[in-house]
Structure 1
C-alpha cells in the first residue's frame, strides 16, 4: 500500500500487528450427521452427544469485506453458552472422515459463533479423543454415537478437563466418592468488609450470590450520596438456571437516600426454587456510590450493565423483529484490578462452599459455586479423605480455580497480575501415617495430576493448602483419586 502510490493516506501509517497464523474467516464446510444452526446457539439446545462448548456471538460480516457499505459486522449474542454435538465433527457421507476447526458441520449463521479459535480448539480436542477411541476399538466415527460409547467419550474428555456443557464428570472410578470427607473449616458468607473502593452507580451494578431455597437473609450495604436521591435494589435471576443475566425480579425495594454515608438493609422477601445464582442489582445514578470490598472468593463475582462497543455490547441487545434473536441485557464483570465485590453484611450466612461441593462433577461455577473454600481464619486449611479399608492409589487429581471468568486474550492485552489470585500455589499431600506423598510450591495450573511411580496403599489422605493471599481463601473445585 505504501509503495503503490494508490494510497497516499498510508504514508505515515505503520503496521502494528499481524496474526501469527493469518486465516480465512469462512470458506467451504462439510456436512455431518448434525448441522449446527442458529437455533442451537440462541436457544442453547441440549444435545445428548455434546462434546464441546461455544459462547461467542453470531459474528457475521458482509461478504464484500472492508469495501462494503454495510455495517462491518453484526454480533448477536445468546444468553449463555451452548453445547456442540459430536455429530458435527464427522462427515455424513465419508465414513472415515473427522472434521475439526472451521470445517465442522455448521450453517453460515451458526458458523459466525463456532469459527473462533478457542471454540475450534475445544471441538478439536474432542475429535482427537474420539479418534483415539475409534483406533482403540476398531470403529468408524459414527460408531461412537452409541449411548454407551458416547458416555465413555464424554467421561474421558471431562476427566482430561474438557468441561462439557450439561455433562458433569461421573462414573470414572473415582475412589474419593466412597471416602468420608471432612474439612478443617468451611467458608460461610456472612460479610464482605467495606475496605475497598467506592463504586459509582453511573451504570447499574450487581453482586452475584450463590443462593439455596432456604436462603432469605437481610443484606446490608454501605452507600453514600452527594445529594438526596433514590436508590432501587432488586433481587433478580435468569430465566434459565444456568444463564447469567438478570431477567426475573423476585423482590425489590426503593430507598430514599439523604446526602452523605449511610447503611441500608434489603430483606430478601422470597426464595429461589432451586440452587442458583441471584443478582443483587443496584439501580441509581452518578450521585450514588456503593462501598466495595478487597476480599475476593471463588464463585463470587460482581457485574455491571455497561457498554462495550467492540463486541456489540450496548447495555442491551435489541434485535429487529423476526430474526430469531432474543432481547436481553448485558451484565458483565469488570477486569481486575477492578471488578470488586460489593461490601455486604448478611443477617444469616450463605453456606455455598461446603466440602460436598467437591463431589459435584463440575470444576467451575455453574448453577452453584461447585467449590469448597476454607474459612479465612483457618491458619492451615486441610481436607481429609478416609476409607474403611486400605485403598491402592496410583493418581490424585486436584482441580484449582484459575479464574474461568478472566479473559486471556492471546495478543495486545496486558494483565494486572502474573498469577491468578484464586489459584492455590502451595500444598502438601500426606497418607494416613502423615508421610508426605507430594509437595507443590508455586503452582499456577488449573489441573494438577499427581502420578505415583509406585501405587500407594493407605486408608486416608490429607491435603494441606495455603491461602493464596490475605484477601483470598484457599479453595478447590475437585479432588479425584484413582487406582
Structure 2
C-alpha cells in the first residue's frame, strides 16, 4: 500500500508491482508526479547538476527519457512542465501489471492491529462520494507530510536541530521550528507584440530593486517562475497551506507587476510577454521528517559515509533555504552569493555523490511502515541535499523493491537490512539503478561466466580544441558553447584519463601562454578511486614534473614518462592529470567529450568540483589506451565510475558493430538485458525537445548460436531507451550470443555498458 503519487511514491509502487507484488497506490491529486507535475511544475533535480555522469537511472531515467523523446516543450527549471509529463507517468501506471491506483484520493484514517502494526487505511475519493478501506501487509508513506506515519503514532521531527546536537556545520546554534518554505511558479508567453499587465489591488506591490538585486533574487529568465518566490514561516507548511497559497499568489502577481511595469530594464525585456499560467498548489520543501532505524545527519553526505545497506545515492549540495523566503532578509545563501563556486559556503555545502541507507526509509516505531521522499529519517541539514526529486525517486524505487523482497522472503521490512540487503541491492542494479559502493554480482546472471569478444574497440588517443564532434553523446547548447571561452589557469585543474593495458609513455596538453615571458606549470599525476574523487590535498600523488610553456597560442606541451614512472600507473583504473595554478596560461577544453573522461578544478580547502560542464580538457596520450574493451560490459557498473565500464566500437569502422558472449558449456537462456550509454552526463534540463541521445542504439538485433549455427532472436528499430529487456520468444540452449548494433542516433561508434543473460 503506497500513499502519495509524487515521484517517490510512484517509483515505489511501480518497482514493487514489477517484482510481482500486488500494489495499491493512492494520490490526492488528479495527476501523478507531485511537485514535478503540471500542477506545480518543479522539474526534477539531482546529482548530475553538480557531477558529470551522475544522472539518476532506474525508473526515473526511464520516465525522463520517454518524456524528452515525446515532448515538444523546452524544459526550463520551473514553470514549463506540461501534461506530456503527466501522461508519461500515467501511461506507465496503467501499463504496469499488479498495480491498482486511485487518484484524487486522500488518506483519512489509519487502523492499527497493535501499536507497532498497521492493519488498514481509510481514504476518500474526492467528488465520488466513495470511501475506501485498504488492507495491506506493508505500507509506504510517500505523502511528503508524513500523514500516515503521524496517524500511526510515529515519532517525527520538525525544523532545525541545534548545532550542539549533532555538530552539523549547517545547523543553527539554537534549534528552531522554522522550516524551508513552499513556492508556486508561473509561465509567461512571448506574444510577438507589446502586452500590458495590471495587477489586482490585493497583490503585493514591489518598488525596491535592492530587494531583488542585493538579496540574491535573480531574474535570469523572464518566461518562467523562480524558486525564490517562497514563503514558509510564520505559517505552518502543513496546517496553513491555504494561507501560504494565497500569500504566494499575492507575491507572484506583485513580482510580475514589478517585471512588467516598474523595473526600467526588465520591463523592456518583458514588453512582449504575457502571463500564461500561475500555479495554485504550493510546492513544499519541508514539513514532518519521520524517525527511522537510522537518522542521517549532514556528516553522512559531506563525508560520503559508506553504508552496508546502501540503496540509493544523492549528489545535490546541502541546499537550505532561508526560513521565511520572501519575508526574510535574503534568499538562500548560494543564490545570495550569486552562485559563486569557491566561497567558504560553496565549499562547505558541496557534497556527493554519496550513498543513502535503507534504514532511513524504515520507521522505527511501526514494523510494517516505510517512508520515501522528503519525509525520510534525516536532520534538517541533511534534508537540504536528499530532498530533490530525482533523489527521492531513487529512494522510492528502493523502498518498493525492499518491500517486495520482504514479502517474497516472508520477513519484516525492518529485518531486510540485516537479512537480505544483498538481494535488494542486486535487484536495484539489475533494474538499472546505480549504487556508488556496490557492484553488480548477480549469481543468476549467466553473462558473468562467459567470455566477451567484439567486432572492434576504440582506442583513446585524446582530443584537442579543434575538434567539432558533438556526437560523443552530448549536443552542446548555447550555455555550453559559451563555457568553451578561454579561462586562465587560476585554480588547480584536473583531467581524468583511463589507463589501458599498454601503459602510458607520454602525455601532452594543449596550452596557450599569452604573457610576454616563458611560464612554468607544475604537472602532477594523481591516483583516484573514481570520477568523483575530488581530493586535491591528501590525494595519492604519483609523480610531478615542471612543464615549460613558451609564448604562443595552442601549443602541445609533452610530458615523457620514464619506464619506472609508467609502471606506477594501474591498468583498468583512472589517473588524474593535474596542472597547478598559473594565471598566465590557458588549458583549452577539447572540442568534444571523450566518454568517461571528465574534468574538475580546485574550489578550495583541498577539494575539487566539476569543471564547467565536466567535459574533456585537451590532452593526448601515447600510446593510445585500450580502455573501451568488450570485457567492460561485465564490470558490474553501468556508467563511467572507477573506470569507463563501457565497450565502444571503433568509430572509423562502419555499422553494424557487435559485442558477443561465449560460454565453454551451453547455457539455457530466456531473458537478455542490455544497458546502452546515454542520458548520464548532464541533468535533465539540458536536453532539448524530442531528444534521442546520440550514443544510444537506435536499431539492434540479438543473435544466438546453438548446434545449428547463428540465428536472430530479436530485432528492434527506433529504440531510444538506455535499459532494455527482452524475453526471448522461446528458451534457447546456446554457447554464444551476439548483440549487433545496426545504428545509433548519431554517434559513429556503438556502445554498451552491460549485457545480462538469465535462464527462462
Q: Same fold (TM over 0.5)?
A: yes
Partner of 2:33: none
Deviation of 1:390 (Å): 3.2
Partner of 1:69: 329
SS in 1 for 2:693: coil
Superposition pairs for residues 35-434 of structure 1, below 5 Å? 35-69=295-329, 72-73=332-333, 76-147=348-419, 149-192=420-463, 195-196=466-467, 200-202=486-488, 206-211=494-499, 215-228=503-516, 229-230=518-519, 232=521, 234-237=523-526, 241=530, 243-245=532-534, 247=536, 248=539, 249-250=541-542, 251-268=544-561, 270=565, 271-272=568-569, 275-282=572-579, 283-285=581-583, 288=586, 290=588, 292-294=590-592, 296-301=593-598, 303=599, 305=601, 316-317=603-604, 328-334=607-613, 339=615, 341-379=616-654, 380-409=656-685, 415=688, 418-432=691-705, 433-434=709-710
How many Å separate the matches in 2 of 1:213 and 1:464? 26
Question: What TM-score, normalized by structure 1, do the two folds share?
Answer: 0.84
How many Å separate the matches in 2 of 1:217 and 1:467? 35
Is the CA contact 1:316–1:330 (under 8 Å) kept in the aligned structure 2? yes
Taking a change above 3 Å as real, the CA distance of residues 255 and 112 of structure 1, as seen in their structure-2 partners, is same
Deviation of 1:22 (Å): 3.6
Taking a change above 3 Å as real, the CA distance of residues 18 and 219 of structure 1, as seen in their structure-2 partners, is farther
Correspondence 1:473 to 2:749: yes
Taking a change above 3 Å as real, the CA distance of residues 17 and 369 of structure 1, as seen in their structure-2 partners, is farther
Segment drifting more, 395-404 vs 63-72: 63-72
Correspondence 1:33 to 2:293: yes
Deviations along 1:48-84, whole A, 9 cap, x unmatched? 1111111111111222322222552356435531111
SS in 1 for 2:488: coil
Deviations along 1:268-320, whole A, 9 cap, x unmatched? 564346854333345554774637344x443223x354xxxxxxxxx7256xx
How many Å separate the matches in 2 of 1:44 and 1:191? 31
Taking a change above 3 Å as real, the CA distance of residues 268 and 199 of structure 1, as seen in their structure-2 partners, is farther
Q: Which one of 166, 186, 201 corresponds to residue 3 of structure 1?
A: 201
Question: What TM-score, normalized by structure 2, do the two folds share?
Answer: 0.55
Is the CA contact 1:236–1:246 (under 8 Å) kept in the aligned structure 2? no
Is the CA contact 2:316–2:351 (under 8 Å) kept in the aligned structure 1? no
How many Å separate the matches in 2 of 1:167 and 1:64? 40
Is the CA contact 2:401–2:424 (under 8 Å) kept in the aligned structure 1? yes
Taking a change above 3 Å as real, the CA distance of residues 6 and 447 of structure 1, as seen in their structure-2 partners, is closer
Question: 1 or 2, which has the higher strand percentage?
Answer: 1
How many Å separate the matches in 2 of 1:182 and 1:212? 17
Taking a change above 3 Å as real, the CA distance of residues 292 and 273 of structure 1, as seen in their structure-2 partners, is closer
Is the CA contact 2:572–2:627 (under 8 Å) kept in the aligned structure 1? no
Taking a change above 3 Å as real, the CA distance of residues 116 and 236 of structure 1, as seen in their structure-2 partners, is farther
Is the CA contact 1:231–1:255 (under 8 Å) kept in the aligned structure 2? yes
How many Å separate the matches in 1 of 2:283 and 2:687? 24
Taking a change above 3 Å as real, the CA distance of residues 8 and 144 of structure 1, as seen in their structure-2 partners, is closer
Please provide the CA RMSD for this pair.
3.1
Is the CA contact 1:402–1:444 (under 8 Å) kept in the aligned structure 2? no
Taking a change above 3 Å as real, the CA distance of residues 246 and 89 of structure 1, as seen in their structure-2 partners, is closer
How many Å separate the matches in 2 of 1:244 and 1:16? 45
Segment drifting more, 282-291 vs 165-174: 282-291
Question: 1 or 2, which has the higher helix percentage?
Answer: 2
Deviation of 1:146 (Å): 2.5
Is the CA contact 2:703–2:737 (under 8 Å) kept in the aligned structure 1? yes
In structure 1, the gaps of 5 or more residues are 306-314, 319-326
How many Å separate the matches in 2 of 1:153 and 1:254? 50
Taking a change above 3 Å as real, the CA distance of residues 287 and 350 of structure 1, as seen in their structure-2 partners, is closer
How many Å separate the matches in 1 of 2:587 and 2:631? 37
Taking a change above 3 Å as real, the CA distance of residues 21 and 202 of structure 1, as seen in their structure-2 partners, is farther
* Bigger Rg, which one: 2
In structure 2, the gaps of 5 or more residues are 1-198, 208-253, 261-274, 335-345, 469-483
Taking a change above 3 Å as real, the CA distance of residues 33 and 261 of structure 1, as seen in their structure-2 partners, is closer
